[in-house]
Structure 1
Amino acid sequence: MRETAAGYGMALLATIIWSGNFVVARAVADMIPPWQCNFWRWVIAFVVCLPFAWRHLRQDFPLLRRHWRYVSLMALLGVSFMNTFFYKAGQTTPSLNMALIAPTAPVIILLLSRIIYGDPISPRRLLGMCVVMAGIVVLVSRGDWQRLASLSFAGGDLWSLGGALSFGLYSLFIRSRPAGLSTLGFSAATFGLGSLFCLPAVIGEMWLLPPVVWSGEVLTGVLYAGIGCSFVSFSLWTRAIACIGPVRAGIVYYSLPLYAALAAWLVLGEAVIAAQVVGGLLIVGGIVTATLQTRRTPS
């Protein structure tokens, strides 16, 4: 029970930190292209991680070399593609559309867990997911159903869906991490490889687009994304999945819109309305319903 509680706590903390990335993305979206933003955030994460992970990298090198295909796949999904897709989507997709698409990652995790690993979808978990989805709809629509009816999906929505799919696959496959491979060694390896995989696209952006002006706002945003959203959150998320599995961690991820709304209120001064409160309560209630186990259910 202590390990399970720690797993939920780490998944929740990772989600709260990730929610701040929406505020950062809105602030620097027009100042730095998506591949460069993603590249520099992971380079920073790798540099921060390396002093802690160097000893583990040396010890894990035989395992990393033996499972290089798996490590490369995880680097592509979790580092190279996921956030780049969301940054790219932010150029053409309204925030309401992104808020509706991003939380589909746990649904992807749940369905693929059923298909690939045969994990059951219990009635309690299904009910909790439905309540959470209802809370998300109330939250992002702000209680105005006409906003949902008038939605038109742009090409950027496909980039958002690609980001959600990448995160779902990363969370699903992380459970197959080779035994004996440390969290720090694995994180450092994927951070470094994922950054290298971004280089061709980064060079293309530098060649075709105007140079980035490294203002204080851009530096602050990239540093927050690199240290908080990349190094800290991914390390927490990896350990959380090891404790509670990808499905239950994915359900905690549903609370992301709630904390994003709170961050927007605290940082950007956006007002909190009644629909956001109702949506937040539904999200929390759905998470509790989906994740609590009865005494007859084996752990």
Structure 2
Amino acid sequence: MQTNYEHIKIYTLLALCVLFWSANFILGRYLHDALSPITLAFYRWMGVFFCILPFLIKEFKPIMQALKKDFIYLSILSILSVSCFNTFLYIGLQDTMATNALLINSVFPILVLVLAFIILKDKISRYQLLGIASSTVGVVFIVLQGDFQKISTFELNRGDLFVMLASLSWAMYSVLLRYKKITLNPLQFLTTTVTIGLIVLSPFYFIYTDNFAYDWIEVKLHWHFIAFIIIFPSILSFLFWNHGILEIGAEKTGQFTHLMPIFGAILAFIFLNEMPKFYHLLGVVFIFSGIYFSLFLKRKR
């Protein structure tokens, strides 16, 4: 049984995970004119691969044993998380507004609950439903800047579709992570998924890239942003997220994605000098209320 300290530790790691992903969201949009989505995704995971290469060599035997036993399962997880998720997200950020993307992203916990119900036969409690509803209202309130009349102007375009596909692929990954128990520890698992995911992603980069010299120039110009994406949203966030799913489940872990608009507002204030508005405060109230309903209320009863 987990202690309060263990719960606080898990929740802190998940909050940091979402903070790093919020920064990835901002950087993905910031770099969309300099680097194509497939280029950013390729160099991101190539960088991660070289970071974990020594570990891959050291842990080669247990990784190969796991692959022999669960190759298809591990390949599916790798494709959903590494090959698809961020590539789809970066493609979406080429064409969609941040408001649309955040609205679509707020559907993620609902996707997790539905997929967990279908695949894992998990039950959905009334507290989880109440928490999802409250958090979603908070997210919608923030992205619409407190003006619900803006919903009438919401239109689905190519970018929206790819952001939706990104959310779906990550929700599927989060649920399938609990479908079968594997023998790999967190670092071994990360090493395995990154390696397989990069192998799947690489042919698409070489097929759809016209000017490799130009790509390399842009990568060198923006190396510090890419290095940040490699270390924080990729390596650390993946470790934190996987740990959260294994400890408290995909449904509760998914609720933390509702913190993204809050972190987005904070990052905008720090780096863009944008002052928080009243609708941010109201949105925060709904979001934290939703997290409380989903994570704490049932456990206290």
TM-score, length of structure 2 as denominator length? 0.92
Residue 223 (1) aligns with residue 223 (2): no
Higher relative contact order (CA 8 A, sep 6+): 1
Residue 131 (1) aligns with residue 119 (2): no
Corresponding position of 1:168: 171
Residue of 25, 28, 31 corresponding to 2:28 = 25
Distance 1:296 1:99, change over 3 A: closer
Corresponding position of 2:247: 243
Corresponding position of 1:189: 192
1:208-248 CA distances to partner (integer Å, 9 max, x unpaired)? 78822326662122111111111110011111111111111
Residue of 184, 194, 205 corresponding to 1:202 = 205
Contact 1:36-1:205 at 8 Å conserved across structures: no
- What SS does the aligned partner of 1:121 have? coil
1:11-54 CA distances to partner (integer Å, 9 max, x unpaired)? 22211111111221122111001011011111111222233454
Corresponding position of 1:273: 277
Could you tell me how far 1:73 is from its partner in structure 2?
A: 0.7
Could you tell me how far 1:174 is from its partner in structure 2?
A: 0.9
1:120-164 CA distances to partner (integer Å, 9 max, x unpaired)? 111111111110011011110111223222222212211011000
Distance 1:295 1:97, change over 3 A: closer
Q: Residue 278 of structure 1 aligns to which amino acid in structure 2?
A: L
Corresponding position of 1:74: 77
Corresponding position of 1:97: 100
Could you tell me how far 1:86 is from its partner in structure 2?
A: 0.9
Within 1, Cα distance between the matches of 2:70 and 2:280? 45
Contact 1:85-1:163 at 8 Å conserved across structures: yes
Within 1, Cα distance between the matches of 2:221 and 2:297? 44
Contact 1:28-1:217 at 8 Å conserved across structures: no
Q: Residue 136 of structure 1 aligns to which amino acid in structure 2?
A: V
- What SS does the aligned partner of 2:142 have? helix
Contact 1:143-1:275 at 8 Å conserved across structures: yes
Contact 1:57-1:189 at 8 Å conserved across structures: no
Range 55-64 or range 116-125, more displaced:
55-64
Could you tell me how far 1:59 is from its partner in structure 2?
A: 2.5
Between Structure 1 and Structure 2, how many residues are aligned? 297
Within 2, Cα distance between the matches of 1:149 and 1:270? 26
Residue of 284, 288, 291 corresponding to 2:288 = 284
Corresponding position of 2:263: 259
Distance 1:50 1:112, change over 3 A: same
Residue of 123, 136, 141 corresponding to 2:144 = 141
- Structure 2 stretches lacking a partner, 5+ long: none
Range 6-15 or range 213-222, more displaced:
213-222
1:150-184 CA distances to partner (integer Å, 9 max, x unpaired)? 22221221101100001101111111353321111
Within 2, Cα distance between the matches of 1:154 and 1:131? 27
Range 110-119 or range 148-157, more displaced:
148-157
- What SS does the aligned partner of 1:120 have? coil
TM-score, length of structure 1 as denominator length? 0.93
Residue 116 (1) aligns with residue 119 (2): yes
Contact 2:66-2:182 at 8 Å conserved across structures: no
Q: Residue 77 of structure 1 aligns to which amino acid in structure 2?
A: L
Identity over aligned pairs, percent: 28
